[in-house]
Structure 1
Amino acid sequence: MTDTRNDTRTGTADGAASAADTHLRILSKSDLAGIDITLTDVVATVEGAYRTLHAGQSDNPRKLTVKPRDEHSVAYAMLGRDGSRDVVAVKTSYKHGLNVGREEQHYYTTLTLYDDSTGLPVAMMDCSRIGSLRTPAVSALLARECAVPGARSALVIGTGTQGRLALPFLLETLPELDRLMVFGTHADGVASVRAHLHAHHPDREVEIVTDAGAAAAEADVVVATAGGHTPAAVESDRLKPGALAILVGHGLAPSTLHRADRVIATSEAQMKVTGTDMADADGQFPAVDSEFPAVLAGAAEGRRSAEERIFAYNSGLVVTDIALGHRFAQLALAQGLGSEVALWQ
């Protein structure tokens, strides 16, 4: 990737302190919405972030979480550092209305980037598009590394933000998939899944299924992205031998984790923070066999045999948000997008 660090910060090109030190570039949702970026670029950026983390060049501390007692909302805070870009960032995420329907929920997420070579701010941005791309890219990488050899069928459970791009990204890393299934309960979500697939792969069709369990029994790869109100809860015994089950949101029962032949997680620590609904009756989790950054780097096994059922937990690592956010900042600032706010004056 071309180094355009001087284009992605405020201040002077030689790093000298200036009045611009007190300004912050704000990139809104609309600023980022119009930026053209390929799925190939996204996958490569996310994969590079994982490899840099495994090499010990980046830092990704455990996320902080707060919830009220009735769990009507949840908030996360994540701090990280990307060593290959020399960027430090803080991501915040807040969702309100977990006890009501999707249309009544409120969700806000931001990413603030700082250039650690100059000490100057790069940008603060809405992080919703970053997350909507980063997460299915990670699932696609998990599928590439852990799906059974020759995988031909995939099922996506859920048609929300994460479900809508799941199939295009899966086809980016597993182009030989020829049966694409989706289970969803929202007509507009199903229509959006079709639209996103046709936008990236106009020659491919999606099969809408009404029984998630029956469809899972025929899928080599299952990606569960649904919200907490989904009626889908695929049990372990519905998965075919050799199946890879990737959990992003909801749609898989805890048995798919506890009875798996092998467990992969992007982060074992984060799985225990954000995946509490998958714990057993005593609040315990089975041990993770491999963390995904090590699998990507070839330092740990993803799959060992064609018959084993693998459970993979896809929780966001802030280093991937930093990498993709920095990429978007490069593209946005090159186009003169965003506005400056004198935040520290």
Structure 2
Amino acid sequence: MTGIPSDRRLRILSTSDLAGIDITLRDVLATVEGAYRTLADGLSDNPRKLTVKPGDGHSVSYAMLGRDGTREVVAVKTSYKHGLDKGREEQHYYTTLTLYDDVTGLPVAMMDCSRIGSLRTPAVSALLARELATPGSRTALVVGTGTQGRLALPFLVTALPDLERLLISGTHPDGLAAVRKELHTHFPDRDVEVVSDLRAAAGEADIIVASAGGHTPAAIEADWLAEGTLSVLVGHGLAPSTLHRADRVIATSEAQMNVTGVDMADTDGKLPSVDAEFPAVLAGAAPGRTSPTERIFAYNSGLVVTDIALGHRFAQLALGTCLGTEVALWQ
């Protein structure tokens, strides 16, 4: 790339580039929490995401633009998933994040955003649990053994080290084995219980993280929950009743919940109003849990400011070790 001006070059960070970067769960949690606090302080911008979905529902596409006011970085994230009407092995998923330095005006990097999303989302669930779980919570149940399900428990234990029982509900033997392996990687002395009776497990759990795929048969009902339960919806696994009959509803973004949470609507196609948004709760500007016995429903939808912060952190680590490939994209 010699002789080509730096403003015409873009560093590409591939899946394999990012896979080799070592980052701790605590680092991820701190980075994501910082992004929320910056947003709550009014220093960042996180507009509502744009969505495109064909009538038959076989694919879905998202575009998200945002600005991190602390890092002074602007970014665009795109996400495209094809084959929603098929099994997991037949689906295609592509997501990218492009970062620009808003001080110099130069591009920082374009990267595969899949690892960032796989870390950011369970980190948010763990932060929701830390802030909203009833005091003295000891049992956590995760529904689903895909990418989000595999990292949910390690993040929960990192944020809430006093958790004693870790439960997993899933139907894929390989996925269940992967959940146990991921937990042992981060916490060798901890183990997970595989549950066969989802209703009984939901009634025992203080925290439920529903991260299953769209084809899951799991659908936890409000009647199954004990007093004080926190239910976090990431993907699927909770029935609409857990939202509509909750004592309190918290969302990372009410606007995004209204876009991506339509499958939780009531028979009239409506979603309830949100009592508070999580960035404000995290910053202490709005109450989270107001009673130890209230059942809280928390909607975890991705905010691009968290992708920007974590993506920028990965870019810093990658550039420090000269990872990636520079291309003369604008030459």
Matched residue type, 1:34? G
Residue of structure 1 aligned with 2:18, choices 7, 14, 32: 32
Question: In the alignment, what sits opposite 1:210?
Answer: 196
2:140 corresponds to which residue?
154
Give the corresponding residue for 1:49. Answer: 35
Q: Report deviation, 1:210.
A: 1.7
Matching residue of 2:185: 199
Letter aligned with residue 125 of structure 1: M
Secondary structure at the counterpart of residue 204 of structure 2: coil
Q: How big is the alpha-carbon RMSD for the aligned residues of Structure 1 and Structure 2?
A: 1.3
Aligned counterparts of 1:283 and 1:118: Cα–Cα separation in 2: 46
Asked if 1:280 is matched to 2:266, the reply is: yes
Equivalent in the alignment of 2:231: 245
Equivalent residue for 1:14? none
Write the letter of the residue equivalent to 1:152: R
Q: AA paired with 1:92?
A: T
Q: Specify the alignment match of 1:119 in structure 2.
A: 105
1:142 to 115, 124, 128: 128
Question: TM-score when scaled to structure 1?
Answer: 0.95
User: Runs (4+) of structure 1 moved beyond 4 Å?
Assistant: none
Alignment of 1:66-145 (within 5 A): 66-145=52-131
Q: Counterpart of 2:155 in structure 1: which amino acid?
A: F
- The structural deviation recorded for 1:282 is 1.3
Shift of 1:27: 0.1
Aligned AA for 1:272? Answer: N
2:315 counterpart of 1:329: yes
Q: State the distance in 2 between where 1:87 and 1:257 align.
A: 35
Give the AA of the match of 1:143: A
- 2:246 is the counterpart of 1:260: yes
Q: Which residues in structure 2 correspond to 1:161-180 (within 5 Å)? A: 161-180=147-166
Hey, what's the Cα distance between the residues in 1 that align with 2:173 and 2:86?
A: 18
> How many Å separate the matches in 2 of 1:284 and 1:231?
23
- Per-residue CA deviations over 1:150-193 (Å, capped at 9, x if unaligned) read 00000000000100000000001110001000001111111110
Give the TM-score normalised by structure 2: 0.99
Give the letter aligned to residue 259 of structure 2.
Answer: V
Give the CA deviation at 1:214. Answer: 1.7
Letter paired with 1:153:
T
2: CA distance, partners of 1:201 / 1:166: 13
CA shift for structure 1 position 211: 2.3
Distance in 1 of aligned mates of 2:301 and 2:196: 27
Q: Deviations over 1:21-76 (max 9, x none)?
A: 11100000000001000000000000000000000000000000000100000000
Helix, strand or coil: the match of 1:162?
helix
Report deviation, 1:281: 1.2
* Counterpart residue number, 2:297: 311
